[in-house]
Amino acid sequence: MDDVMLFDGLKVLDVGSWIAGPVATTMLADRGADVLKIEAPITGDGYRQYASLPFTPNAEANYTWAMDARNKRSMALNLKSAEGIEILHQLIRSCDIYVTNQPIPLRRQLQLNYEDINHLNPKMIYASLTPYGELGPDSENEAFDLVAYWNRSGLMDKMRHAGIEPVQALPGLGDHPTAVAMYASIVTALLKRAQTGQGSKVHTSLLANGLWSASCIAQAALADGDLSPYDLPRLTGALYKTLDDRWVQLSMIRTDEDFDRLLMGLDALEVLADERFATAELRFENGAALTQVVRDKFATKTCDQWMTILKTELGLPIEAVMRFSDLDNDEHLTLNRMVTRPVEAIGIEKIINDPVNVDGLAQVGVKKAPELGEHTNAVLSELGFNEDAIEALRDSGIVG
């Protein structure tokens, strides 16, 4: 069963740019789908250039493109021309899945909304990714995950200590989980099609996924809950700096037994004799004083020493606050296939996998991301264009 490629033969059109929509097609490609990425001639997907921007980490490899555009083909096609749209229509007639995150006004201009093209292929699954959803005035607006996922959902406001300005999100923080939701929508629609024979439109948005991520607190707001506990400084009693300038995180010290073991590990048994900390209620009331005692203790040993004492020996729920630079040495990631080695040379030793795992189903393995328009001629040949016709299309700027 390990050689079963679930989506072998599935034809997917990736008519999008950047991350959230296109990465859903990467997940399909990893599992055997034939994904054709449609890009503008000359410029291509702007995400191709992301890793070379001055505010991104420096590396010899185009690491974000290699990760997120792997296992696809690329066709450079001018969709602002009637001829380019007609070629796209030909591709739509034989595709199984059409994925787009083009702004809705642009889709309307190009007549590429679901209602415009559904008649070309009633069995097609049309997957739409938007910043804010399909309806309402904001559905017309463009936005990246920094705004629609991180800010509009309420996450940005609450992921900070009281009195500290809001924090910008990391690049792609909302895009990648949103891509998983888009993939789930597509796979659900494929199951529906298998049962009914009918295609359908599926959709999700950056805002919907940000709201879902924040739902434990957002739902409290929708239930008229008192959010004042989240206006207080948070996590100050859970994060502690060690002697070597690292941080450790204590999580869910819930029982008196756990608390006693923590004090034993910290060599702070004198706290047990302090009436301010005699009960869980009193420890909460006097949290600032207790936090300072624990901070002073953590400052006496290195991160590795505390991890050995508190996690390995005493089994307490403690973790070092990891840095991105630590990831390459974390064997847990490789053992669980969270990262994998490419099956062909792409200039990177390890690539991050998506988080969906099904035992017994094979994946293609990471192959190189396509060059802009690398497969244009091959795709046109598959559509029946001869060499002269292809050259004419290229000379006129219809393809690249």
pLDDT in tens, 226-242: 887 776 554 445 889 99
In whole angstroms, give the CA distance from residue 34 to residue 95: 10
8 A C-beta contact, residue 78 and residue 398: yes
Looking at the DSSP bridge assignments, the partners of residue 37 are: 14, 74
CATH architecture of the domain with residue range 235-359: 2-Layer Sandwich (3.30)
Q: What is the pLDDT at residue 2?
A: 53
Contacts of 397 (CB under 8 A, 6+ apart): 41, 78, 81
Output the six-digit token pair for 395: 């000379």
pLDDT in tens, 260-273: 899 999 999 898 88
Mean pLDDT of all residues in 14-25 = 96
In Å, what is the CA distance from 251 to each residue of 135, 284, 313? 40, 15, 17
Do the domains 235-359 and 11-216+370-395 match in fold?
Answer: no
CATH architecture of the domain with residue range 11-216+370-395: 3-Layer(aba) Sandwich (3.40)
The answer to whether the predicted template modeling score (pTM) of the entire model surpasses 0.85 is yes
**Domain chopping of the chain, boundaries:** 11-216+370-395, 235-359
Question: Which among 183, 109, 178, 115 has a CA at the least distance from the CA of 143?
Answer: 178
pLDDT in tens, 78-104: 999 999 999 999 999 999 999 999 999
Question: Which among 34, 18, 161, 187 has a CA at the least distance from the CA of 100?
Answer: 18
DSSP 309: I
